[in-house]
Chains A and B, each alone.
Chain A
Amino acid sequence: MKVSRFFRTPKGLLIVVLGVLVGVAALQTGARLVAPVVMSAVCAAMLIDAPIMRLRRGRWHFPDGALLTGLIVAMILSPHTSWYVSAATSAVAVLSKYPLRVRTANIFNPAAFALVATFYIFNTGQSWWGALPELPAIAVLLLIASGVFIVQRVNKIPVVLAFLGSYYLLITLAAFVGDPARVAELYRAPDLHAALFFAFFMVTDPPTSPPRHRDQLVYGVIVGVVSYAVFELVGAVYYLLAGLLVANVWEAWRRWSTANRPTR
């Protein structure tokens, strides 16, 4: 595939969009600080995925999915993370794609799976610096614009609205019924940016999310409800990612049951 044509595909466009976000975020966060995290995550993911793809497909392919996974992992991890922790996290992400599959697609969003796993292995922090939380508030418009652009391309608007709607509905109910201080930060940077980045670029991951709009609504609500439940009950850094992993399981079950439905 020609390079120019690749960059018109959803994956190519997403690489461009995430690259722009990394560049803009690095202006504030510091290129020297983020470069080791980004480079180690991306290189480790691609170096591991390329030979695996070669073995599975019989010829070399550009590991574009691994590049995206590495970028997303790096943009979520704290930029203070050691380069080897960043590399290990993206390695776990790429390796998780192959043993855990239903039909032709991986079950779990690789980045989400790895970030939750390495939270326990390495105590990794998550700052979501790639979602531009450290920039002036107006920068959220760039995040939204780039997110909407990608979401339209992959036809996943319902899942984004279902997630954001259910998630903020539950938080808002909690703010009115209980102590507003407990959820105050979820409406503000960096949590707002994290939720938007998560909604636009992770919940919409084509291999692990449903294509049909009706299923997308269910999937988005599962992500929102479970994320809020984990926030309330576990209080862990990965509450959004945990919601996504549970929804991934539901989607895998849906795909499996659809594939195994008896035909008349």
Chain B
Amino acid sequence: MAASDKAGKNHLMALGSAAVLAVYGAGFVRTRAAAERFDGAEAERRPAAPVARMDTIAPAAPIASAAPIAPTAPVKTPTSTVTVAPKQELAKPGEPKVQPETTKTEAPVAAAVTPVDTAAVVAALRDGTYSGWGSSRHGDIQTTVEIRNGRITSATISQCLTRYSCSWVSALPGQVVARQSADVDYVSGATESSNAFYYGVVEALKKAK
């Protein structure tokens, strides 16, 4: 009797495991195209060697949501020149998504940031205030960019719907003003949030052209 009970329980466990696997498999297949879109967009933006930036960014105080962030000089000087990648088909912004961010563990290197055809960007900008949403697999960020006399005078994270507090990427708006470009550093441990911010600025600057 005890043996048959044990066998019955084992069958139930096996059945349960199979059911979980089947449900997981169905969802995995259903979401494969969306995951590939994210991968494609990320690959396009990502330089060969992402930069570890935790030495420059203190993830402590939450960012003031609407207040413009004063321009600050980038801590490390950009080196390489890469054109701004337009945002690809990404998930519609507006809903928070929550996924753990993969931790980047590369040793800090002197900035491999990716500006900029700055002159081309600035020359084409119309004065005004423009907003744009950036998406990443870890959530969405809305940025607001102010243009005066054809130059970016302020950049703000106006809405933060990422998994992490946007204090992790609080240095990035200052980099937009300092570099006059959407090309900002990656933040180790917040690579996806950096991407969302980047795409938000790209979207806002598109509207300014």
Chain A residues within CB distance 8 Å of chain B:
28-30, 33, 78-80, 122-123, 125-129, 133-134, 157-158, 161, 164-165, 168-169, 171-172, 175-176, 179-191, 194, 231, 234-237, 239
Contact = CB atoms under 8 A, between A and B. Distances in A.
B206 to A, nearest CB: 21
Given A194-B100, A235-B161, A184 B105 contact: no
A185 B59 contact: no
A125 B31 contact: no
Interface string B163-193: 1110110000000000000000000111000
Nearest to A127: B103
12 contacts: A78-B103, A79-B189, A80-B188, A125-B101, A158-B16, A161-B16, A165-B19, A172-B30, A182-B95, A184-B34, A190-B100, A194-B100
Contact of B27 (A33, A128, A165, A187): A187
B53 to A, nearest CB: 10
A224 to B, nearest CB: 11
Interface residues of B, number: 47
Contact of B54 (A80, A158, A181, A186): A80
Interface of B is mostly: loop
Nearest to B59: A123
Nearest to B168: A125
A161 B20 contact: yes
Interface of A is mostly: helix
B10 to A, nearest CB: 10
- Most chain B Cβ neighbours within 10 Å, of A134, A165, A190, A234: A165
B23 interface: yes
Given A172-B23, A181-B91, A187-B28, A133 B102 contact: yes
B96 A235 contact: yes
B186 to A, nearest CB: 13
Contacts of A78: 101, 103, 189
A189 B105 CA distance: 16
Contacts of A79: 103, 105, 189
Interface string B10-33: 000100110110011011101111
B38 interface: yes
A153 B13 CA distance: 15
A69 B188 CA distance: 26
Contact of A181 (B23, B31, B59): B31
A182 B96 CA distance: 9
A237 B35 CA distance: 19
Nearest to B62: A123
A134 B99 contact: no
A184 B31 contact: yes
A205 B75 CA distance: 45
B105 A185 contact: no
By Cβ-Cβ distance, the 6 closest A-B pairs, closest first, are A235-B96, A181-B91, A172-B27, A181-B34, A184-B31, A127-B103
A164 B16 CA distance: 10
B51 to A, nearest CB: 13
A126 B16 contact: no
A30 B137 CA distance: 24
A212 to B, nearest CB: 13
B98 interface: yes
Nearest to B101: A127
B97 A123 contact: no
A29 B103 contact: yes
Contacts of B137: 184-185
A119 B98 CA distance: 14
B60 interface: yes
Contact of A133 (B17, B20, B100, B168): B100
B27 A171 contact: yes
Contact of B105 (A29, A165, A180): A29
B50 interface: no
A232 B191 CA distance: 22
Contact of B189 (A125, A128, A169, A185): A125
Contacts of A134: 102-103, 105
A164 B17 CA distance: 9
A168 B18 CA distance: 13
A127 B103 CA distance: 6
Nearest to A193: B100
A77 to B, nearest CB: 10
